[in-house]
Amino acid sequence: MLNMGGPEKLEDVHDFLLRLFMDTDLMKLPVQNKLGPFIAKRRTPKIQEQYSKIGGGSPIKHWTSMQGEGMVKLLDDISPDTAPHKFYIGFRYVNPLTEDAIEEMERDGVERAVAFTQYPQYSCSTTGRRPVGSLWKRIPVRDNASSPSTGSSLNAIYRYYSNRGDRPKMRWSVIDRWPTHPLLVECFAEHIRNELLKFPDQKRDDVVILFSAHSLPMAVVNRGDPYPQEVGATVQRVMERLGHCNPYRLVWQSRVGPMAWLGPQTDEVIKGLSERGKKNILLVPIAFTSDHIETLHELDIEYAQVLAEECGVENIRRAESLNGNPLFMKALADLVQTHLKSNEPCSRQLTLRCPLCTNPTCGQTKAFFASQKLP
């Protein structure tokens, strides 16, 4: 179960940031081996302050473990031919790291492995180059979807074997995207329905639903990254499931730095709606499968508390994240069962590089998974 991860404790924040700023898939910095540690050290106190406001750490490992346990229990029941099933967590920037998970799998004698990205919508990479002067002040440092870096997580698996100069002892395949899975769509719809019921009866029909996802620099979008269209596909299916019950927009959060980013931005839309008399708003984290700093701090505190008060918003709520919803665990199990039955190493989409891709490792990773021989 692949994800970026997040620091469980305040003392983990520095190492989390250090690994993040040293990841060349996520961002390319000049003299990265020197500038990365410098930025991590300077940013640690500020990010520790944010985590202290949401309980002292990220809950993403807790939720991923719960989701994994529920998933494999269901899999053992619905897919006895492939049982027993075991999940491993592979984070990019905190323990358990992806590389450590692979080593544990090898020690356990695993013969068949599925790299299951926990990002429903696929993105090859995230940030590009930034002006050095603003780097340490405005680098994105959120966890979980701090940028939707499916590509970075998969690259870590490819590099593990490439650096060893060895072929995998297990047969790999990958679930690389699942933006319109029916049970995922139903989970989002269920949480939206539940939250709409908490608005005053006379205001409910006037509530504007804002589906918020992590933004991308336009330089990445213009290379052909599929993430924006896949997020849009999720939103469309969810609103169809809801019968288009309320007006809605897809908005983008977490823009940083002076470069052009995919918009409109979540905070600016909240301001604009309020100015136009739309003061009942429901925020929906549509690209996140569990709570983390972007939901608990950015959406819940920065937007739903501070910004909403400044703008005079009457009622603003945030739909609950998928977290421990049993239906979501059923979705995960169904995805794995269907994938195993398909006997395909990856989706056809994964084999296609972005038309203007600038990262050679991306192509090597895609070839690695596409060439896996399954029985």
285 prior amide bond cis, ω within 30: no
* Calpha distance 69→285 (Å, rounded): 23
Q: Can you say how many angstroms the Cα of residue 340 is from the centroid of all Cα atoms in its chain?
A: 23
User: Which pair of structure tokens corresponds to residue 245?
Assistant: 């019950």
81 among known catalytic residues: no
Matching residue, tokens 């031919």 = 81
Q: Which residue, among 76, 53, 27, has the nearest Cα to 305 in the 3D structure?
A: 53
Q: Which residue, among 274, 247, 277, 251, has the nearest Cα to 264 in the 3D structure?
A: 251
Q: Which residue, among 215, 290, 298, has the nearest Cα to 47 in the 3D structure?
A: 298
Strands 171-175 and 2-3: unpaired
Quickly count helices (H) and strands (E) in the chain: 14, 8
User: Which pair of structure tokens corresponds to residue 160?
Assistant: 């593990």
User: Which pair of structure tokens corresponds to residue 322?
Assistant: 């998928």
Q: Which residue, among 276, 264, 263, 285, has the nearest Cα to 313 in the 3D structure?
A: 276
Question: CB within 8 A of 305, min separation 6: which ones?
Answer: none
Determine which one of 14, 181, 214, 339 is catalytic: 181
Contact in structure between 288 and 144 (CB atoms under 8 Å): yes
- CA 360, 92, 21, 257 torsion: positive or negative? positive
334 among known catalytic residues: yes
A 10 A CB-CB count for 360 gives 9
Q: How far apart are the first and last CA of the chain?
A: 22
Q: Which residue, among 36, 143, 156, has the nearest Cα to 100 in the 3D structure?
A: 156
Matching residue, tokens 């991308």 = 216
- What radius of gyration do the chain's Cα atoms show? 20
* Calpha distance 271→292 (Å, rounded): 24
Determine which one of 143, 291, 334, 339 is catalytic: 334
Instruction: Indicate which residues carry an active-site annotation.
Output: 181, 334
